[in-house]
Amino acid sequence: AQSVTQLDSQVPVFEEAPVELRCNYSSSVSVYLFWYVQYPNQGLQLLLKYLSGSTLVKGINGFEAEFNKSQTSFHLRKPSVHISDTAEYFCAVSVTGGAQKLVFGQGTRLTINP
Amino acid sequence: GAVVSQHPSWVICKSGTSVKIECRSLDFQATTMFWYRQFPKQSLMLMATSNEGSKATYEQGVEKDKFLINHASLTLSTLTVTSAHPEDSSFYICSAHRDSSYEQYFGPGTRLTVT
C-alpha cells in the first residue's frame, strides 16, 4: 500500500518570499506523484505531476517540484509567492499505469501574508 | 478540455431522506470515476472506484448499501446517499480518469448538509 506524509500542516509566508511544501511518500512499487491545489469550497486543480523522466517538474502558476527517489520525496517549491497562492495544497501518489486511485497526504495550508 | 461537473453544488436534506449527486465528464469519456469525501480542514478520502457498466469497488469501511454508486454511461456516475444522517454531512468530490491520460480530473465538489 502507498502512503503520503505532508510534513507541515500550515506554512505562513510573506508575499514575494520563496516557499517549499514538503511531501514524502512510501511505496513498494513504482508510483506517479502529483501536487494539487484546492481553493475554498472548490475541487482540486492539478499543479504538476511526475510520471517519469526528468526529476524536476514544472507546473502551473510558477510552481515546480523535484522527485527524489532515494529520499522518497516530492517537495513543491515556488521562488516568489503571491497573495493569490493562499490555498490548501495536497500531495498525492498513485500506482503506475491505468486508472489507479490516488492516495492523498493530509494537506498543507499555505497562507501568504502581505 | 477535460472538464468534470458535479450537480448539485450544494444540497440540504432532512435526516432519513436520500440525496443523489451527479458527476459528469463533459468533454471526454471516463471509463473510471472516483468518489471522495472530505471533512472540513481534512484531506480527501477515497470512498469508491466506479467503473462503467460494472459494480463499484468500495474502500474498506465505506457502507456500500448507504452510498450507492451507479456508473451507467461513459460520462455519468451518480452517488446516492441513502437514509442520510447528520454525520453524512460533508464535501463530496468526484474525479474522472481519461483513458489517454495518467491523471484524474476533479469536479468542483458537492456540499451536503443533513439536518
CA distance B75 to B86: 30
Is A32 in contact with B102 (Cβ distance < 8 A)? yes
User: Is the minimum CB–CB distance between A53 and chain B shorter than 8 Å?
Assistant: no
B8 HSE (CA, 13 A, CB side): 9
Closest B-chain CA to A99: B97
Q: Give the dihedral sign, CA A39/A43/A47/A52.
A: positive
Q: Is B75 left (phi over 0), alpha (psi -120 to 50) or beta?
A: alpha
Q: Which amino acid is at A4?
A: V
Q: Which of A42, A45, A99 minimises the CB distance to B97? A: A99
Q: What does each C-alpha distance from B91 to B4, B44, B72 come to in angstroms?
A: 16, 9, 23
Q: What is the pLDDT of residues A12-62, one digit of tens each?
A: 999 999 999 999 999 988 899 999 999 987 889 999 999 988 999 999 999
Give chain B's mean pLDDT: 93
